[in-house]
Chains A and B, each alone.
Chain A
Amino acid sequence: MTDKHDTKPLTPAAEPLPPCAAACPAHTDVRSYVNAIARGDFEEAYRIARESNPLPYVCGKVCAHPCETQCRRGDVDEPVAICALKRLATEKHDLRKGHAPGLSVAEPKQDKVAIIGSGPGGLTAAHDLKRMGYQVTVFEAFPKLGGMLQLGIPLYRLPRETIEIETAPLKELGIEFVTDKRVTDVDALLADGYKAVFIAVGSHVGRKLRIPNADLPDAWLNTEFLRKVALGEKIDLRGRHVLVLGGGNVAIDVARTALRLGAARVGMTCLESCTKQPAHPWEIAEALEEGIEMFHDRTFKEIVAENGKVKGVRCVKVNFRGFLPTGAPDMDEFPETEHILPADLVIFAIGQGPDLSFLPKDGSIAQTPRRTLQVDPITLATTKKGVFAGGDAVTGVGFIIDAIAAGHRAARSIDAYLRGVDPASVQPPEPEQLGDLKEKTISHIRRLKREEMPILNAETRKGNFDEVYLGYTETQAVRAAQRCLTCGAGATVNAEKCIACLTCVRVCPYEVPVLERGTAEVAVDQCQACGLCASECPAKAISMKLYNDNDMIKDIRSAVHRARGNGEPVIVGFACRYCAYAGEEPNVVKARLPKNVKTIDVLCSGKVDALYLLKAFEAGADGVFVAGCLVGECHNEKGNVHAAQRVAYVKRLLDEIGLGGARLEMFNMSPAQCADMNAAVSTLLTKVKELGPSPVRRA
């Protein structure tokens, strides 16, 4: 079990959130779980990720990760691979411990709640309400659970087993799932004893452009196509020449699916230019790798047919600037560029909306002009009392994580409503976000390459529905997690103890602390949490948000205690994680160490205060070492040099008091050398054995 002093969960809305958590619609505590992975505590990472999200396995694979777009690491080099890290945490989680270890269920309540739709929004609301104690029934029109997860996301992105991992525990929780049941009468549900209803039907109705021949047999619709494939219908597209109309993420799903069904040629065409294509860049790249052709800057005038057979699409090049508020495209057409893109199968993928035909005809549940459900944005209440709605049914096509957030919000609202409390009052305020990194700070941050996600190569993958992304290894994950800047979780200065000695200003590798108003101030949005100011401050006025001296001293005593027992010298080591586990998996490295050697992990040896070294000896250690990166390799420029100076100082002190400075050593190691920490530790062990056991013994 690793020492946990580096993880403290963030208190929601108590302080500015780092951009990742702020950008996440569910405000996942990204920073904490990434930090846990950085020190090899994968179970802890899973626990944190699961806390705010009942579908972590799914999100780990297919979340659109808006967190990464806002990740401040992206201002330095590339964003942290937050989504891939969540995936790793789920893969390392031992499901025998349960899907949600530690989450409780309240005493059962009488009230029944109905949820229409088993997509991510519905599942989340169901999960939350069930944990609050309510009786929950989920009605799903289709035979399988999952909504768009099941019916829209292709297998090569999201294996069906992954969905099963998420839905099985929900059944075990006691949520009643009714599949193949299309709700047609909401009022009836209310009359039937359901005190509240949550409509989460998603946007499963594709749209066709009203162009000539749009209804030919070989002019298909995105949603129907993907749903048929998902429900197991065998569609053979061998030899076909497919053209997908549309350039978004769904269009790409359609195109890549068509390819895997054997299509000889697959092309996509859209209004947008190459640089403005409204799909995730990585999906576009993967599609291109698979040989899908892209035809940008086009509007479609007509499906060209001959004897009822599709021959192609007549297109005209355009200069597209975006959609107007009315929904009409703002563009110039160039009629002289008219041409035909050949195809024998056309699939529309230009958008989709909710099927709201089941709503009461009296309009008591109102719609928006865009024909989505109208709701109060804070409470998600529709115009009918007791009926709430969220997810794609309200927003049109959105991200899974948006739907999950909506499910949480709806659950809070419904719970408040059922308790007679104003649903708006239980919604947390939108948290403040940290500011941007200054250029000055960025210039000092060590550049680290983003780990490449192992991926099946295009030739291999395009002929089947095998999962394309393979997921990080443990080693990759630890390295990837170490790129996190721990935004907003750095140093705090106690102004009462600060004597403005300027030490923190002088030692910070990132030029963050300032002394302008009498005491030092560390800007929360610039601090890189390297810990040097805290360990150098002579007034002990600085502490780190994620750990403090008391935590460390407890860990030291625990390490000494655990290292005792077999008559061998007790050795405590402070191991810098940047080198120690960057080369090989943490638990593997630790397992190789002898039982009498226990390490305390720190992110950067610069955090090792000289006091900690003395405390280790005071606690009874016979020998102590600090393992830091090679000089010049320190993540924080000179953290390891400061550490070495402190080690030399304490060595002299130990000589003077007669304990023997040889009991303390600093090792500078590369990640490769850390894999065999034994070699370095054995030289220390020899010296310690020569000196004999330390006469200091603590209870």
Chain B
Amino acid sequence: MIKAKQKPITEIKGLIAPYNNILVLGCGTCVTISFAGGEKEVGMLASALRIAAALEGKEQTFAEATVQRQCEWEFIDAVADQIQRADAVLSLACGVGVQALAERYPDKVILPGVNTTFLGMAVEHGVLMERCRACGDCILGLTAGICPIARCAKNLLNGPCGGSQNGKCEVDPDLDCAWQLIYDRLARLGQLDRLATIMAPKDWSKDFDGGPRKIVREDLKL
């Protein structure tokens, strides 16, 4: 799912500096699971910002609320009163939620409190890793279930490059070389011969390079 990381507090302070009554609005789905913007993080951030405001002698107040998902109109409608009362909303949702708020409350200043970072998973408690780049044209069936677009630093389709060493990527010694992983997995599956086939250049038009994307389900839309 979407993974995010809270912005450094100095940056957040800069964003909220011109405002007095700030609503710190959390989101109960992806950012909660990434430990970046759920109810708990809202509580901690609001507390830290109060301390920071007191340190600077600022008259800022911080209200706290969390909605189930900021990317749903109904859920953000439910906090309309609190949003109206605030001078600015510091949203801890991912970029989607922040934009939904801004679209729904176009007269309100909506500020992002987290950096939406990647699509990924928790490989262990506290460690989140990127797994998908939402390229719009999934090739996982060809690469034994390991994505070279998201996990290879050069998104090679005919990897590995010459920088692969001991199964690690030249970019970061703690990062697995995706193509080493693909090689090993294909070997396990008895499909190493797939590597002989040259994978053609990717159709990036299905990714963002084709422009912002949209999915319409004709059967659902009235």
Q: Which residues of A contact B (CB under 8 A)?
A: 497, 499, 501-503, 506-507, 537-540, 609-611, 614-615, 617-618, 653-654, 656-659, 695-697
Contact = CB atoms under 8 A, between A and B. Distances in A.
B51 A539 contact: no
B33 A507 contact: no
B129 to A, nearest CB: 16
A540 B54 contact: no
Nearest to B34: A538
Contact of B33 (A501, A617, A653, A697): A501
Nearest to B69: A499
7 contacts: A539-B28, A540-B40, A653-B9, A656-B10, A657-B48, A657-B51, A695-B54
B198 interface: no
Given A501-B32, A656-B9, A538 B38 contact: yes
Interface residues of B, number: 26
A501 B50 CA distance: 29
Interface of B: 8-10, 13, 28-29, 32-33, 35, 38-41, 43-44, 47-52, 54-55, 57, 122, 125
Contacts of B13: 657
A538 B122 CA distance: 14
A615 B54 CA distance: 13
B33 A538 contact: yes
Contacts of A540: 38-40, 43
A660 to B, nearest CB: 10
A190 to B, nearest CB: 65
Contacts of A658: 52, 55
Contacts of B122: 502
A503 B51 contact: no
A614 B38 contact: no
Contact of A538 (B32, B50, B51, B57): B32
Q: Which 8 A-B pairs have the closest CB atoms?
A: A614-B47, A657-B52, A696-B54, A540-B39, A538-B38, A501-B33, A506-B125, A538-B32
Contact of B8 (A538, A614, A656, A659): A656
A609 B44 CA distance: 10
A538 B40 contact: yes
B51 A499 contact: no
Contacts of B39: 497, 538-540
Given A501-B32, A507-B125, A538-B32, A611 B55 contact: no
Contacts of A502: 122
Given A499-B28, A653-B9, A659 B55 contact: yes
A695 B55 contact: yes
B33 A611 contact: no
B45 to A, nearest CB: 9
Nearest to A697: B54
B195 to A, nearest CB: 35
A614 B29 CA distance: 24
Given A501-B33, A618-B50, A659-B51, A539 B40 contact: yes
Contacts of A506: 125
Nearest to B42: A540
A540 B43 CA distance: 10
